[in-house]
Structure 1
Amino acid sequence: MSNRDEGLLSLRPALLGEIHPQSSAEEIFQNTTIRPVLKFQNDLFIEAFINYAIKQKGQFFSLATDKQLSYIENAIHKDEKFRNALKGMIIGAFTVSEYRAYIKNSSNLNKRMMNMLIERLKDQVQLIVQ
Structure 2
Amino acid sequence: MNRTEALLQLRPKIKTIKQHLNTADVEQFQNDTLRPILKFQHDILLALFNACLSHNKVLFKELTTEEKETKITQLFQKDLSFKNQSLGAVLGMLTLEEYRTYSKESSAYNRRIITMLKQRIMSTY
Q: Output the TM-score relative to the length of structure 2.
A: 0.90
The alignment status of 1:7 with 2:9, answered yes or no, reads no
Mean Cα deviation higher: 13-22 or 46-55: 13-22
- Root mean square deviation, CA, Å: 1.6
Aligned to 1:83, the other structure's residue is in SS state helix
Q: Distance in 1 between matches of 2:60 and 2:27?
A: 33
The count of residues paired between Structure 1 and Structure 2 equals: 124
Question: CA shift at 1:18, angstroms?
Answer: 2.0
Question: CA shift at 1:47, angstroms?
Answer: 0.8
The alignment status of 1:35 with 2:35, answered yes or no, reads yes
2:91·2:99 contact (CA, 8 Å) conserved in 1?
yes
Aligned to 2:20, the other structure's residue is in SS state coil
Cα displacement string for residues 15-53 of structure 1 (whole angstroms, at most 9, x for unaligned residues): 562221111110110001000000000011111111110
Aligned to 1:19, the other structure's residue is in SS state coil
Cα displacement string for residues 32-87 of structure 1 (whole angstroms, at most 9, x for unaligned residues): 10000000000111111111101112433433343223211211133222111111
Percent identity of paired positions between Structure 1 and Structure 2: 37
What stretches of structure 1 of length at least 5 have no aligned partner?
A: 126-130
Q: Distance in 1 between matches of 2:43 and 2:87?
A: 15
Q: Distance in 2 between matches of 1:61 and 1:20?
A: 39
Question: CA shift at 1:91, angstroms?
Answer: 0.2
**Corresponding residue number in structure 2 for 1:74:** 74
The alignment status of 1:90 with 2:72, answered yes or no, reads no
